[in-house]
Structure 1
């Protein structure tokens, strides 16, 4: 095959790797954030319930009431952040995109292995089109997620 085909193949490999490098830390961050927000809000709500349910008088009882109020407000804010930014949905979106990119990378590597490292221009075109479709699908899904009522632009 031609040098053009080899250069285009290397460019496609680079583009796939670059997108994987961007998506990997984002999906990890959103997974951790979603887990933290849900778990923290749940614990804050549980401790609020226990604090209000304890029948303790005096200064300690008053302190428990204040703790319950603070934790209740904290849980409300955490759930509002979770609902507004929706890191769980973003994480799912990124995992799906990452898996599809991995599949495309495997397909490209398989094609290269079968062709002894040089692909026909038509094959590179097909793989490039698939990559561009993946990118468009991901962007469209992200825009759908961001344009739901109650989410930031």
Structure 2
């Protein structure tokens, strides 16, 4: 259901599989990131989909990384790949959304201040700070 404020629609969900995808505001892009593993293979698969405020796919990428760690590390590596990809696209005002609650909290909050500072510095050094907002699907 769309949330109306005056004549403007602020949130308009789109059903994708069993989840509801919430569109970002106008002039903001949203990148959904996820990791996948198959236990018998030592690889991590990741996928990233970038959509505009109308839900239209602007770009997408996927890849395979060597190694298979715990789910938190796998998701963190996928988010790192997404940030690098987004940097190469040179867009601004991007929300990165993931179901990796621990990673998103560490990047957005200072509950674990040392990890937060390091994560923000890594993002800053990548040249993408200020263009990306990180969101968790589980908040």
The TM-score with structure 1 as length reference comes to 0.22
Greater share of helix residues, 1 or 2? 1
- Please say which structure displays the higher CA radius of gyration: 1
The TM-score with structure 2 as length reference comes to 0.24
Q: Structure with the greater relative contact order (CA < 8 A, sep ≥ 6): 1 or 2? A: 1
Greater share of strand residues, 1 or 2? 2
